[in-house]
Amino acid sequence: MARSWLRYLTLFAGALFFVFPFYYMVVGSLQESPDTSLRGAVPSGGLTLDNYAAINDRVNLVQSLVNSGIFTGGVILGTIVFGVLAGYALARLHFRGRGTLFAVMLLVQIIPFQLLIIPIYVMIVRSYGLADSYLGMILPFAINSTAVFVFRQFFLQLPEELFSAARLDGAGELRVLWSVALPLVKPALLTATLLTFIGPWNEFLWPFLVTKEADMQPLAVSLANFIDNMAGRAANPYGAILAGAVVLAAPAVALFVAFQKHFTASDLGSGVKG
């Protein structure tokens, strides 16, 4: 009994330790006067939305959120589509050079994006003329080698009998992928969606380079570009900065809370008799 209480107390303390920064950020964004000490965690004055209004006066939050949503949604769509197709091919199709192709894909993961950013910028902006466009922001992130690896590993775990039975029934590879494989790898789809969402949603460097018009910039770039101006015009600059952090972090937290209960292993052998 004592061990159970000790375990629960330890878990509760860990949860508080994890949640406290988010709580402090939200409370600080609602305060009328700045308080950067730990006492600021307990609001002593009134709470207000003026800090959010101060940001919106300098940055169009709605348009910035729309830009971030389109940018992130496009990257997620490309990652899922290309990741599923490439992962399935590397896991279930037999062709010459498959192992070499997989090894090259793994090597790509060790190359940092910053090393390629100059040639990619020249190609996207100068060769393709995609500056200040959603497509220009999305293209460099549309294919994610990590997602390909995740899907490949999930497809390899599926029983071969399922694929053989489907092919004997006359199903083509796309039908096998859509009707047999995808329903069994939902955990991989959710994991790839969440991991992919965090990257482009918080991405600053690439959108900053390819977008110069304020109406095209995602939220992370808008907040970074105008942080000094919007903080200076706010009655509570510290609160205005925290309000921007809340707006940027809220969608990622909400997505994780919505999806976390689905991150469970599926019964991959449930479709095989015996």
For the cut 60, the answer to whether the pLDDT of residue 186 exceeds it is yes
CB neighbours of 59 closer than 8 A, spacing ≥ 6? 222, 223, 226, 230
Q: Give Dmax (Cα) for the chain.
A: 71
146-175 pLDDT, tens digit per residue, is: 888 888 888 888 888 888 888 877 778 888
Look at the block and give the residue holding tokens 């062709």: 95
In angstroms, what CA-CA distances link 102 with 96, 146, 170, 177?
12, 12, 29, 19
Given this model, what pLDDT does residue 45 score?
Answer: 67
Q: Give the range with max mean pLDDT: 38-42, 128-132, 189-193.
A: 128-132
Q: Where are the domains of the chain?
A: 60-225
Q: Region 100-112: what's the mean pLDDT?
A: 85
pLDDT by residue (tens digit) across 56-91? 777 788 888 899 999 999 999 999 999 999 888 888
The answer to whether 99 and 93 have CB atoms below 8 angstroms apart is: no
pLDDT score for 121: 92
Report helix, strand or coil for 258: helix
47: which strand partners?
A: 31
* Both structure tokens of 208: 């900053």
Residue 67: predicted pLDDT: 92
Tally the C-alpha atoms within 13 A of residue 36's C-alpha that lie toward its C-beta. Answer: 5
pLDDT surpasses 50 at 266: no
Residue 21 scores a pLDDT above 90: no
- Specify the CATH superfamily of domain 60-225: MetI-like (1.10.3720.10)
Residue 257 tokens read as 């809370």
Residue 273's pLDDT band, with cuts at 50, 70 and 90, is very low
- For 177, the token pair is 């992928």
pLDDT of the residue at 72: 93
DSSP 135-188: HHHHGGGSS-HHHHHHHHHHHHHS-HHHHHHHHHTT--HHHHIIIIIGGG-HHH
Please give the structure tokens belonging to residue 32. Answer: 């009328």
